[in-house]
Structures are given as structure tokens and as C-alpha cells.
Amino acid sequence: MFWSLLVTLGACLGLWQWERADDKRLAMAVRNAAPALVQPTEQPDQGAQVTLRGEYLTEHTLYLDNRVVNGKVGVAVLTPLRDAYGQIWLVQRGFLATGPRREPPHAATPSGMVELTGEWQEVQAGGPLYGENREGVRLQQLSLEPWHASLGSFSYPGWLHANEGDGVLIPWWEANVMPPSRHMGYAFQWWGLSLAAMVVMLIGGQRLRRDSAQQEPLGHKNK
């Protein structure tokens, strides 16, 4: 029973990793095919290169805590932007080094009309939180919720990871897409484990049957 369960588990986990590889291939294809948009008035596709023109809402800037770039500790600067159509976007402007100090960070923000470009990312589910997300002007997770009380809802559920333009700092964000080949490698590892378990089960079963057959005549002789 144990070896049968191990064979089944390995086969199922291998299929799961194979399906994840297909999902990653699809996600990469969607991201690579995403268009370049200038001042869009509809929600961008995941991975789209978006250019915005508008004004930063400087007073609503918050900071994503505990970022590390090139060995330096700091924050990611998050500033809402109102574009020429009145739409409000959340812009992740890049990395600001702060060191280990816990004083409220401050990033200089240009006033007036600005233009910037970045990659659009739809709202992502965050990991587990131990305590409140917001501590002063610092956030532990990237989320739209901290601005709801002061700004209401953003125009679209997501944020722009800016990589060039006015007010953009050191880019640090990269899409976390594990290559499909890695999932395929995991799949073959699980299937290899399942095959090894099957071999052990079959050989072990044969030996048990052989030992049982050898012991039966001995039992008759003793009688």
C-alpha cells in the first residue's frame, strides 16, 4: 500500500508540474505579446508597456518596505498619478536607499506635468502578513487598499512598474516568471521517483512471494 501511494503521488505531482509548465508558457506568450500603449483609457493587458502623462499626487506617496538592491537596503517609492483624462494610476517609481534607519523615508517628486513609461502588472495576491500592512508611510505588501480611504478606488486594478521617465528612481522590479523548462525538470524528477518506487514495489513483491513459497514446504515438513 505504501509503495502504491508513493507511485501515485509521484505520477500526480509530475502531471501537476507539467501543467504548470504549460501555464508558464502561456503567461510568457501573453506577456511577450502585450502591446505598447500611450495614455490608455482602458485597462492594459498584463505585461503591457504603458506610457503615462499626468501629475504625481505627491502627498499620497507611500513606501514599500524592505527592498534590497545591490546590497543596499531601502524602499520602493509608490506614488499615485492622475493622468490627462482624470484616471488615477498607482506608479511604483523605483528603489530609494534608506539604510537600516527607520525614520520615515522621503523621495523628491517632480511637480507639474510628467511623462513616464513602465510595465503594467495586474493586482497580485500577497503572501502572509504578520500584523498590519501599513506602518506610518511604509507598507509591508504592495496593495491598492491603503489608498482607498484618501483617494477612493484606482481606475484599474494594478500598478505600473516605471523604468524610465520623470521622477523614476532605480528600477528593481522584474516579472517573477519561472521558465517552463524548470517545471518540466521537476515533472521528470517526480516521474523518476514514481518509476523507482514502482520498480522497488515489483521487485520487493516478487521476493516476498518467493520467500513465502519457500517457507510453505518447510512448514509442511515440520508438521
**pLDDT of 23-32, one tens digit each?**
667 766 666 6
Cα–Cα distance list, 166 to 48, 69, 81, 126, 208 (Å) = 19, 21, 12, 28, 75
* Cell 523518476, residue located: 192
Residue 34 within any structural domain of the chain:
no
Element housing 37 (H / E)? strand 36-38
Cα–Cα distance list, 124 to 44, 85, 120, 133, 154 (Å) = 15, 26, 12, 15, 15
Residue 29 within any structural domain of the chain:
no
Q: What is the mean pLDDT of residues 150-167?
A: 96
Asked if residue 89 and residue 138 are part of one domain, the reply reads: yes
Asked if residue 127 and residue 55 are part of one domain, the reply reads: yes
Contact (CB, 8 A) for 14 and 190: yes
Asked if residue 158 and residue 115 are part of one domain, the reply reads: yes
Identify the pLDDT of residue 51.
Answer: 97
Residue 200 within any structural domain of the chain:
yes
Strand partners, 115: 53
Strand partners, 53: 115
Asked if residue 186 and residue 118 are part of one domain, the reply reads: no
Characterize the bridge pairing of strands 138-139 and 62-69. Answer: parallel
Asked if residue 7 and residue 108 are part of one domain, the reply reads: no
Q: What is the pLDDT of residues 88-147, one digit of tens each?
A: 999 999 999 998 888 999 999 999 999 999 999 999 876 677 778 999 999 999 999 999
Residue 151 within any structural domain of the chain:
yes
Domain residues for the domain of 12 are 2-21+179-222
Asked if residue 216 and residue 158 are part of one domain, the reply reads: no
Asked if residue 159 and residue 52 are part of one domain, the reply reads: yes
Identify the pLDDT of residue 13.
Answer: 81
Asked if residue 186 and residue 107 are part of one domain, the reply reads: no
| DSSP class of 59 | G
Asked if residue 216 and residue 184 are part of one domain, the reply reads: yes
The C-alpha angle 119, 125, 128, rounded to 5 degrees, equals 130
Asked if residue 205 and residue 114 are part of one domain, the reply reads: no
Residue 174 within any structural domain of the chain:
no
Number of domains in the chain: 2
Residue 205 within any structural domain of the chain:
yes
Residue 139 within any structural domain of the chain:
yes
Cα–Cα distance list, 87 to 7, 41, 142 (Å) = 55, 8, 20
Nearest to 74 by CA among 151, 159, 172: 172
Identify the pLDDT of residue 59.
Answer: 97
Residue 171 within any structural domain of the chain:
no
The C-alpha angle 101, 168, 106, rounded to 5 degrees, equals 30
Asked if residue 104 and residue 138 are part of one domain, the reply reads: yes
